[in-house]
Chain A
Amino acid sequence: GNSVTQMEGPVTLSEEAFLTINCTYTATGYPSLFWYVQYPGEGLQLLLKATKADDKGSNKGFEATYRKETTSFHLEKGSVQVSDSAVYFCALSYWGTGNQFYFGTGTSLTVIP
Chain B
Amino acid sequence: DAGVTQSPTHLIKTRGQQVTLRCSPKSGHDTVSWYQQALGQGPQFIFQYYEEEERQRGNFPDRFSGHQFPNYSSELNVNALLLGDSALYLCASSETDRGRSKETQYFGPGTRLLVL
Listed in ascending order, the chain A residues whose CB lies under 8 Å from chain B are 4, 32, 34, 36, 42-46, 49, 51, 89, 91, 93, 95, 97-106
Query: Is B42 touching A98 in the complex (CB atoms < 8 A)?
Result: no
What is the CB-to-nearest-CB distance from A80 to chain B, in angstroms, rounded to a whole number? 22
Contacts known (A43-B90, A44-B90, A45-B107); A99 close to B100, Cβ less than 8 A: yes
Task: With CB as the reference atom, state the residue of chain A lying closest to B45.
Answer: A100
Query: Is A46 touching B100 in the complex (CB atoms < 8 A)?
Result: no
Majority secondary structure of chain A interface residues (helix, strand, loop or mixed): strand
Contacts known (A44-B90, A89-B42, A105-B41); A36 close to B107, Cβ less than 8 A: yes
Contacts between the two chains (Cβ within 8 Å), count: 64
Tell me which of B48, B102, B107 contacts A100 (CB under 8 A): B48
Tell me which of B4, B41, B100, B106 contacts A106 (CB under 8 A): B41
Query: Is A104 touching B109 in the complex (CB atoms < 8 A)?
Result: no
| B1 beta carbon closer than 8 Å to chain A | no
Interface size class of B (residues with CB under 8 A): 20 to 34
Tell me which of A43, A89, A98 contacts B101 (CB under 8 A): A98
Question: In chain B, residues 57-116, which have Cβ atoms closer than 8 Å to a Cβ of chain A?
Answer: 58, 90, 92, 94, 100-110
A47, B100: Cα distance in complex, Å: 23
Query: Is B90 touching A105 in the complex (CB atoms < 8 A)?
Result: no
What is the CB-to-nearest-CB distance from B68 to chain A, in angstroms, rounded to a whole number? 14
